[in-house]
Structure 1
Amino acid sequence: MQGEEPIVSGMAGRYATALFELALEAGSLDAVSADLDRFEALLNDCDDLRRLVESPVFGSDEQLKAITAVLDKVEIGGLAGNFLKTITANRRLFAVQGILRGYRARVARHKGEVRAQVTVAEPLSDAHRTALAETLNHVTGKDVAIDVTVDPALIGGLIVKLGSRMVDASLRTKLNAIRHAMKEVG
């Protein structure tokens, strides 16, 4: 398995494995993935939800009430909803990002996919996302799933991490290289 992305270990890995096995047994890998993607999008877009997840100040009862209300509002139920409520009740909500990464890695491995982490300066259009996926599929010879993160500090361009390989074609990196070269000349 050399060159493959390592699967998350530790507590997050154990929870991810448990969720994966339950979803596989229930035949709902894709449905659980879709619900978890929606939850993660909420987490990325809502500062209050992120604070609730990350802060140790909130007790498990407060967190559980809030998470239940959020899940009900966005209609995330079933296995994914119950799982998120369980990790909240077990005081493991702070590890949800690692659990989600671990779950996705297990699903990808099960499906024979490779996951690429792509960081861009601004959100990708559907056309750009498709073109990038097709290029990565062609380069690797495998089905590549893309996780996109937006980081405006890149200014432009993108960074692609695929397994142990990384390509940094960001404008920020290019400008830093020019700045460094100018210091050496002067």
Structure 2
Amino acid sequence: MRGVSATSLAQVLDTVGGVTADGAQGVAVGTDVFAVVGALDANPVLRRVLSDPATESDAKAGLVGTLFGDKIGSGAVDVVVAAARGRWSAGRDLSDALEQAGVQAVLSAADSAGSLDTVADTLFAFARVTTSDPELRQTLNDRTASVEGRQVLVSRLLGDQADDVVLALARQAVASRGRSYETAIAAFAQDAIAREGRLQARVVSAYALGDDEKQRLAGALARKYGRDVHVDVTVDPNVIGGISVEIAGERIDSTVSTRLADARRALAG
């Protein structure tokens, strides 16, 4: 976001920080905010009213209280009121800002528990499951099916493997909001990494790296780029050997398949 929307987003996120200071209510606040995002997406007229710069801020805050005050918790109400009082370049910016606020509220719980890295790993892994199964991918991205039904499916797929933070974010990704399910859930994982101040390294390897190997690779990349690094590994037997790393806009490719391809191009002249 840019301009007035960026300023308003910062104010909304400040409010999130205030109501989730200890992380204890993070998931509850985030889930409630996600519910409001769904309501705004389903009701463009309401979204326009709450983002209309010609309407008094107090009037918009009062409307939020009337519509949502008895449906969501007080912390979530404060966040939505902060958004309604803001100024937005476009109505959709209001909904986008609230979704970001909900994500940060949920992640505050993982931040407090010291589990942001685990959350990111789990979300990235689930995104890979989605993309590797065409039928599942189609189902989760089917906008003719109800959001609630697809969220139930996500809950069943994750089962006991996911904590409340992962479950809340994986369920919200179903809403899509202009992007595919796998793109949305990967973006939420990246938000978890960014909250830790880390860089993301996308690694492709011929085999699954062990924890020690991942730690050594993360350490080497951290020394090179001057920041802690989260390593996300995708296994692809087609690379034959070695690894490929994408980080900070750079690509480091030491796979055998790439070297062979380079050699073939060199021989072809």
When normalised by structure 1's length, the TM-score is 0.71
1:160 equivalent in structure 2: 245
Q: Which amino acid aligns with 1:22?
A: A
Instruction: Report how far residue 78 of structure 1 moved.
Output: 2.6
Aligned length: 171
Of 98, 103, 114 in structure 2, the residue corresponding to residue 20 of structure 1 is 103
Is 2:219 the counterpart of 1:137? no
Instruction: Select between 136-145 and 74-83 the one with higher mean Cα deviation.
Output: 74-83
Q: How does 1:9-158 map to 2 (within 5 A)?
A: 17-24=100-107, 26-29=108-111, 30-31=114-115, 34-35=118-119, 37-45=121-129, 47=133, 49-55=136-142, 58-71=145-158, 73-74=159-160, 76-88=162-174, 90=175, 95-158=180-243
Larger radius of gyration: 2
Whole-angstrom distance in 1 between the partners of 2:103 and 2:148: 26
Whole-angstrom distance in 2 between the partners of 1:49 and 1:19: 26
Structure of higher RCO (CA pairs closer than 8 Å, 6+ residues apart): 1
* Alignment CA distance shift 1:126-1:83 (3 Å): closer
**Contact persistence 1:133–1:145 (CA under 8 A):** yes
Instruction: Select between 14-23 and 122-131 the one with higher mean Cα deviation.
Output: 14-23
Q: Which amino acid aligns with 2:103?
A: F
**Contact persistence 2:239–2:257 (CA under 8 A):** yes
Instruction: Report how far residue 59 of structure 1 moved.
Output: 4.5
**Contact persistence 2:205–2:244 (CA under 8 A):** yes
**Structure 2 unaligned spans of 5+:** 1-91
* Alignment CA distance shift 1:75-1:112 (3 Å): closer
Instruction: Report how far residue 112 of structure 1 moved.
Output: 2.2
**Structure 1 unaligned spans of 5+:** 1-9
Q: Which amino acid aligns with 2:212?
A: A
Instruction: Report how far residue 21 of structure 1 moved.
Output: 1.9
Cα deviation, 1:136-173, whole Å, max 9, x if unaligned, reads 12212221111111122211111111111111111111
Q: Which amino acid aligns with 2:109?
A: G
Q: Which amino acid aligns with 1:122?
A: Y
Structure with the higher helix share, 1 or 2: 2
Structure with the higher strand share, 1 or 2: 1
**Contact persistence 2:121–2:189 (CA under 8 A):** no
**Contact persistence 1:119–1:150 (CA under 8 A):** yes
**Contact persistence 2:124–2:189 (CA under 8 A):** no
Instruction: Select between 131-140 and 60-69 the one with higher mean Cα deviation.
Output: 60-69
When normalised by structure 2's length, the TM-score is 0.52
Whole-angstrom distance in 1 between the partners of 2:164 and 2:178: 18
Instruction: Report the 3-state secondary structure (helix = DSSP H, G, I; strand = E; otherwise coil) of the residue aligned with 1:68.
Output: helix
**Contact persistence 1:116–1:162 (CA under 8 A):** yes
Root mean square deviation, CA, Å: 3.3
